[in-house]
A = this chain, B = another copy of it.
């Protein structure tokens, strides 16, 4: 009867949005700029997204989706809490470090208003914190992690360290690899969590 929707178009719009927003910031990026880079008309954007804000939210959803997918696969073959933590540090830093433009979005552009943070933080980041919390609790049950520590608190501390390393990497112009921080971060976090560190 009629035309079939172009399945890849939405993705191409999001890809264009990553580049433009990373380069100019969300508020300095116009819908027309995204449309132009994606090779579609301005109006076409609105066939795929309710409004400009929704583009940014979708960007984060897509990134988080990949993250969760890859993460759960790797964490399934898990193991002790220590091993899980090592794995998640590696995953976090390697996934963020894989795409600088996307990292600019997640580490900087996404955080521009408390209303935005609310929408994102409660759902997606909340789920991530839950995963971390469960790992800590497991470590305590295994008797490897200190018991005098709220798992929820420790999860936030772990997230804080990972997030700061990511942000620092994004803001620094130097050509370092974020993954080079895997070792130090793991060592630092395990020292903070472990009951009886090997001195």
Contact = CB atoms under 8 A, between A and B. Distances in A.
Chain copies in complex: 2
Interface string A104-126: 10001101111101100100000
A196 to B, nearest CB: 6
A22 to B, nearest CB: 8
Interface in A109-155: 109, 111-115, 117-118, 121, 146, 148-150, 153-154
* Chain A contact patch, size range: 35 or more
Interface string A42-64: 00000000000000000000000
A181 B165 contact: no
Given A104-B114, A109-B112, A113-B25, A157 B153 contact: no
Contacts of A197: 197
Given A25-B113, A108-B112, 6 more contacts: A22-B114, A25-B114, A27-B113, A112-B112, A146-B191, A197-B197
